[in-house]
Amino acid sequence: VIIPTGQYQLVTAAMAMTLAAMGGSFVFFVLMREKVALRYRSSIVIAAVVVGIAAFHYSRVLASWADAFQFRDGAYVASGAPFFEAYRYADWLVTVPLLLAQLVLALGMTGPKARSLIVRLSVAAAAMIALGYPGEVINTTSSRLIWGLAGCVPFAYILYVLWVELGRSLLDQTREVALTVSYARWMLLLTWTIYPVSYFVPLLGLDPATTEAVRQVGYSLADLVAKPGYGLLIYRIARLKTEADEAELTSVGDDVRRLAHV
């Protein structure tokens, strides 16, 4: 495989930018957790954990990408060392269940209902990633189709839980919180459809260099929106819940003061 310099630089820059954004959002979530009430804080701490883990995996992806190609005669030529796609799957296996848990925790849900939601969403997310991986490794048209479609079954279940089950609990939330949760859900749905597109790009019959460039840039941009971008929506939900709690406390305080004067 020979990759033109422009395409190679684009992939490298996309990976580096995503790594930088993961590190930057890690700092943001760690420092801004102070503005989120303790009751919702696990959501923002998990957002920090997710982007921190992703930053580490991206540093490995970037090093593996640099290893897999050598600059020779004006282009980047496969060095023989394989590119470790496996780092991406290792990352997703840990971070995708955590992304779903963030949403439940930002809403301040607790007890058996919240635990059941988190467990079922996590298992489905892990199954979705694990089912996709064999197709990536075997890398034939039929295996990519079979394992890829198998991975869509838990994906459909996740969408069902987010829209139907979680949807019901949104009736108790303020309009602004419900709206932000709705944005977060759509962000998951839209960015998570970039992953299967990148996954199925090898079936389009493009030349190998373009296939690899499109896939890697696609995965990097999807991770950028799905982790730091989604994390910002989680932060906003946690802040809205915190503000609502503070407003309620203030009004309780006013009542107490009024009673004391009577």
Positions in the binding site for a copy of itself (CB under 8 A) = 5-6, 9-10, 12-14, 16-17, 19-21, 23-25, 27-28, 30-35, 38, 41-42, 45-46, 48-50, 52-53, 56-57, 60, 71, 80-82, 84-87, 89-91, 93-94, 137
Rg (CA), the chain: 22
* Backbone phi and psi for residue 120, each to the nearest 5 degrees, phi listed first: -65, -40
To a copy of itself, the closest distance from the beta carbon of 88 in angstroms equals 9
**Of residues 33 and 185, the one with the C-beta less far from a copy of itself:** 33
DSSP H or E stretch at residue 2: strand 2-4
Give the shortest CB-182-to-a copy of itself separation in angstroms. Answer: 16
Pick between residue 94 and residue 159 the one whose CB is nearest to a copy of itself.
94
CB of 196 to a copy of itself, least distance (A): 21
Cβ neighbours of 126 (radius 10 Å): 16
d(CA 143, CA 129): 15
Work out how close the CB of 246 gets to a copy of itself at its nearest, in angstroms, rounded to a whole number.
11
Q: Tell me how far the alpha carbon of residue 35 is from its chain's centroid.
A: 22
Q: How far is the CB of 249 from a copy of itself (least distance, A)?
A: 15
Which C-beta is closer to a copy of itself: that of 52 or that of 167?
52
Q: Is the Cβ of residue 87 or residue 195 nearer to a copy of itself in the bound state?
A: 87
Residue position matching structure tokens 């407003």: 247
Closer of 38 and 164 to a copy of itself (Cβ)? 38
Neighbours of 107 (CB within 10 A): 24
Residue closer to a copy of itself by CB (options 71, 163) is 71
Cβ of residue 240: shortest distance to a copy of itself, in angstroms?
A: 12
Residues 6+ apart with CB under 8 A from 184: 103, 230, 233, 234, 237
Query: Cβ of residue 160: shortest distance to a copy of itself, in angstroms?
Result: 27
On whether the CB atoms of residues 153 and 130 are closer than 8 A, the answer is no
Strand ranges (E), 42-190: 69-72, 75-78
Unique residue bearing structure tokens 């790009």:
201
The structure tokens listed for 132 are 């996709």
Q: Beta strand 2-4 with 69-72: parallel, antiparallel or unpaired?
A: unpaired
- What distance in Å separates the CA atoms of residue 193 and residue 185, rounded to the nearest whole number? 12
Residue (49 or 226) nearer to a copy of itself, CB? 49
